[in-house]
Amino acid sequence: MGNSFGQLFRVTTFGESHGGGIGVVVDGCPPRIDLSNDDIQRELDRRRPGQSRITTQRKEPDRCEILSGVFEAKTLGTPITVLVRNKDARPEAYEPMRETFRPSHADFTYQAKYGIRNWQGGGRASARETIGRVAAAAIARKVLAAFFPKIEIVAFVTQVHEIIAAIDRSKAKAAEVEDSIVRCPDKAATKMMVDLIEKTRADGDSLGGVIECVARNIPAGLGEPVFDKLEADLAKAMLSLPATKGFEIGSGFAATRMHGSEHNDAFEKRGGRIVTRTNFSGGIQGGISNGEEIYFRVAFKPTATIAREQDSVTSSGKKTKLATRGRHDPCVLPRAVPMVEAMTALVLCDHALRQRAISRS
């Protein structure tokens, strides 16, 4: 269990990194939404390995096929299934993992939970699983665009290790993000980040960082009290991504050092609508969107796979050493940007449908 997400726009991903393929079934997509293979492929290409010199050099074309739910380039209202075949599988490269638990990977915990695991790669815990999410989110974006034509969801890298970019959150544009191979819309920071990532790879080590995401032009009213608050579903969505360690919405952890008189977002009327003067709330109050920009930050740990030799144990508990050769991302953040956007789109699309069900206007 646990492979589905969403109540009404319900996404079920499947597949291991090695085996027949990776994919997703989307149940609950409204009918008559324009949808082509290209809409999905475009997003998959953004998370594909090998897209720049700072990502893993694995070559996975990751070509998607829509198996169901679309007819004459429109959604039917029936389940949409997208399949991506696994190609660059080199299971023999994983032979040492048959017996050895890689530190801070899921090898040990899958074995503990299931008494079996596909040791040929990360199996279900591989970041390849996010292909299904990104494919589903490409569909969610089309649905959202049909409901809220001005909606924008933009994520970007705002920190790599100690390097913090200078970004005006409210002005960040998708095109600028894509111009940077780090997906950081601050050119100076990008340069420093690229240098650091390359140096770290050469050292056989890895880096973490922070991704920020902004969703604009979301109407007030999305989010369900009390457990399915919009920020609660976003938090779950983000912490379900591989390598994430933290989430903060609006003021986040900084709020803990503020006074209420400073943190409260005063209401005022501007341009005919009720808005807030500040936005420490991050666009959500009481779990429901208030019409302001929704923004949040996600912490990513340094990649667990590193070239340096590490201590570990075998499944029988014998001491061993482990070193991984080549082909991994020294820093997952550039490729995680589309994943963060994807999960955001899934949450918003699901809540948009939920709100339509009860809306009486």
For the segment 65-94, give every residue that binds its own copies (CB under 8 A): 65-71, 74-81, 83
Q: Which amino acid belongs to residue 334?
A: P
By CB under 8 A, tell whether 61 contacts its own copies. Answer: no
Which residues 322-351 are close enough to bind its own copies by CB under 8 A?
A: none
Give the binding range for its own copies (CB under 8 A) out of 40-48, 49-57, 113-121, 182-190. 113-121
By CB under 8 A, tell whether 35 contacts its own copies. Answer: no
**C-alpha separations of 229 from 112, 221, 222, 234, 288 in Å:** 33, 11, 9, 9, 6
By CB under 8 A, tell whether 166 contacts its own copies. Answer: no
Do 295 and 169 meet the contact criterion of CB atoms below 8 Å apart?
Answer: yes
**Nearest distance in Å: CB 157, its own copies:** 11
Q: Which amino acid belongs to residue 113?
A: K
Choose between 90 and 173: whose C-beta lies nearer to its own copies: 90
Longest CA span, the chain = 69
Choose between 113 and 187: whose C-beta lies nearer to its own copies: 113
- Alpha-carbon distance of 191 to 195, in angstroms, equals 6
Give the binding range for its own copies (CB under 8 A) out of 36-44, 111-119, 172-180, 186-194. 111-119
- Residue 156 has phi, psi (to 5 degrees) of -160, 160
CA dihedral 52, 58, 59, 61 (to 10 degrees): -80
By CB under 8 A, tell whether 288 contacts its own copies. Answer: yes
Provide the mask over 184-203, with x wherever binding to its own copies is found by CB under 8 A and - wherever it is not: ----------------x---
Q: Identify the H or E element spanning 275.
A: strand 273-276
- Residue 185 has phi, psi (to 5 degrees) of -80, 25
Do 17 and 130 meet the contact criterion of CB atoms below 8 Å apart?
Answer: no
**Nearest distance in Å: CB 175, its own copies:** 26
Among 169, 236, 293, 327, binds its own copies (CB under 8 A): 236
Closest CA to 122 of 327, 340, 356, 345: 327
Among 115, 150, 166, 168, binds its own copies (CB under 8 A): 115
Closest CA to 292 of 237, 249, 326: 249
Which residues 238-277 are close enough to bind its own copies by CB under 8 A?
A: 238-240, 242, 244-253, 255-269, 273-274, 276-277
By CB under 8 A, tell whether 48 contacts its own copies. Answer: no
